Every structure is written in structure tokens, then in C-alpha cells.
A = this chain, B = another copy of it.
Amino acid sequence: MPDMNRQVLFASRPQGSVTEGNFRIVDTPMPAPGEGEVLVKNQWLSLDPYMRGRMNDAKSYAPAARIGEVMVGQTVGEVVASRDPAFRPGDKVRAPLGWQLYGVAEARHLTAIDVALAPASYYLGLLGMPGITAWFGLHETGRPRPGETLVVSAASGAVGSVVGQLAKIEGCRVVGIAGGRAKCDYVVQELGFDACVDHKAGNLAQDLRNACPKGVDVNFENVGGPILDAVLAIMNPFSRVVVCGLIAEYEATEPYGYKQLRSVLVNRIRIQGMIVSDWKDRHGEAVAGLSAYLGEGRLKYRESIVEGLDNAPRGFIALLKGENFGKQLVRLA
């Protein structure tokens, strides 16, 4: 084990788009676990859009990140030293250790993972926060019925790809929205969606109408902005919008103005925000369900990997621009 750790710190709040200057990479002494704590060598770091929200100094469901601290995030890795009886060196765990090569956490914040069931990295995606988000957001908030049409934006992403595949299992017609032909081809040909609309093709409203001849019953929203307005305009009576993410807004200095509230009234649409932690006592239920479908070969999954901690800021900036293709990870070891 080396003497020194490496960390990515939050250096300054972005004004609009995140830049590499908002981060600082530092080498710091290797931490040592105290009583009840565990030292973990991180193997994978998850990059997720919610991190952008933490970089703002605004009220949200979680406190804003503080300047000078290690960037927050989920990791998976291996226990290298433990002062808690629940973990031993060599154990594979998921931990909230953030953007660093090593980290110390209280044992109660670690989750043991089963790498015989799925690769370790899957516990940051399909079997982690994004997959659990998809599971509860779809089943509990969106509540699709067989034969209904579901639209999901960021369809090739960590959450969207799972939402669409789960909705297919529920018997829905599933239409993705993604940026670019390659992602759309993947969504239809690999993930098995019925259609996918390329929002960069310049004809979103008409392409959506063509892909949803019976209108839209459930919209699982990961993006927001003009994409959400276009979907709202063709939603059916008593349809539902799951507001899971608004990545189109996260870097904007002015919020987008949504113009389709008339449709909400006329069609009695239910729009509902959701956050995965609302079901934190039931996460095991989602992981069990997702694992079962994965074992049966009914869920496909793709990762977008950046090599090395030093490249995490670049990977995060690319994620916010939609340049990732599948679940965005940083390989740390």
C-alpha cells in the first residue's frame, strides 16, 4: 500500500458549464481507519448527473458540496484494512467515498457486493443507484400498464436504459429519446425498445408524434428542457410524468420555461418528482428484481469508462454534455 492517497477536490463553484478549473487534484497522506471504520481501495468511481446539483450553492434534497472537500460519489472497491468486525481485508464493497483512490468510511456506510453475481462495476449502475432509481421511478411513480406507451429520455444512459427495458417487460410500447444515431440504433437494436427519437436530428416534435401514434401514457424524464415540452404536448388523458432528472437545466444559468401546463390541466396529467432515497428501506427489493432479470438475460447494460482518477473531471464534463454512451464510470485501479 502506498504512503499517499490521491483525491479530486471541489475547487470552485461553476458559473454555468463545469470546467476542469472547478476541480483540483491533490496528493494527501494515506488515511487510517479509526475504531468501527474501514479503509477501502477504490476500484471504480461512479459519475452521475446529480453531482452537478451539489456543485451549486442552492437548496436541494442534499446539502451543497463545500469548496475544498473531496467530490462526493459512490465507489466500489476492496477493503484493505478494517477496524470493524463486519468487514475483512479482501472484501468487495460499495462505499460513498467520492473521487479518490483510497478512503475511510464507517462500516455502516459500506455495502458488501457479490462479484459472483455481477461484475463489481454493476453495483454502481444496473444494481446500484441508477438501476434502483429506474425500478422505483417506473413501478411506483410512473405505474405503467400493459399496452401503454412509455417515453424515456437519455434512453441509452444508466437510468434510461433500465427504465425502457423494465417497461418492455411490463408490456409497454417503449420509445427512447437519445442524442445521435449511434445511441438510437443501440437503444432499438440492442436494448429492444420499439423506437428511438434522435433529439439532435432537428425534428423532435414530429419524430415523437410518429413514434407514438397513440400518444404517451408515461414519460420518464431524465433530461428536461425542450424535450419535456415536446413530450408533454402529446401526452394522453390521465398520463404520468416521472421527473427523475433535468440534466438539460443543470448547467443553465437561467431555468428553462416550460410551456405545456395547459396540457397538464386538459389531460389531467400527473407530474411527480422522485429521488431514489425516498425508497431507501426497500432498495433490496429493487436489487433482487434487477438481479433476477439480469440472471435471466433480460436486461442489457453498457458502460462508458474513463481511465484513471486524473481524468474524472473530463469524464464528468463529457457526461454533462451527453457524450457518454451508457453508465459513466472511472476506472481507478
Binding site for B on A (CB under 8 A): 53, 59-61, 224, 228, 237, 243-246, 249, 254-262, 264-275, 278
Contacts and interface: CB of A to CB of B under 8 A. Distances in A.
A270 B272 contact: yes
A246 B265 CA distance: 8
B259 A268 contact: no
Nearest to A62: B266
B264 A273 contact: yes
B268 A275 contact: yes
27 contacts: A53-B266, A61-B237, A61-B266, A224-B261, A228-B261, A243-B261, A244-B265, A245-B265, A246-B262, A249-B262, A254-B259, A255-B260, A255-B261, A255-B262, A256-B261, A258-B258, A264-B272, A264-B273, A265-B273, A266-B273, A267-B273, A268-B273, A268-B278, A269-B271, A269-B273, A270-B270, A271-B272
A244 B264 CA distance: 10
A259 B261 contact: no
A73 to B, nearest CB: 19
B271 A270 contact: yes
Nearest to A61: B266
A226 to B, nearest CB: 11
A256 B259 contact: yes
Contacts of A262: 246, 249, 255
A272 B274 contact: no
Contacts of A244: 265
A246 B266 CA distance: 10
Given A269-B272, A271-B272, A273-B267, A261 B246 contact: yes
A272 to B, nearest CB: 5
A62 to B, nearest CB: 9
A246 B61 CA distance: 29
A273 B241 CA distance: 12
Contacts of A268: 61, 272-275, 278
A257 B257 CA distance: 4
A270 B59 CA distance: 18
A3 to B, nearest CB: 41
Contacts of A245: 265
Contacts of A274: 268
Contacts of A59: 266
A1 to B, nearest CB: 40
Nearest to A255: B259
Contacts of A267: 61, 273
A262 B237 CA distance: 24
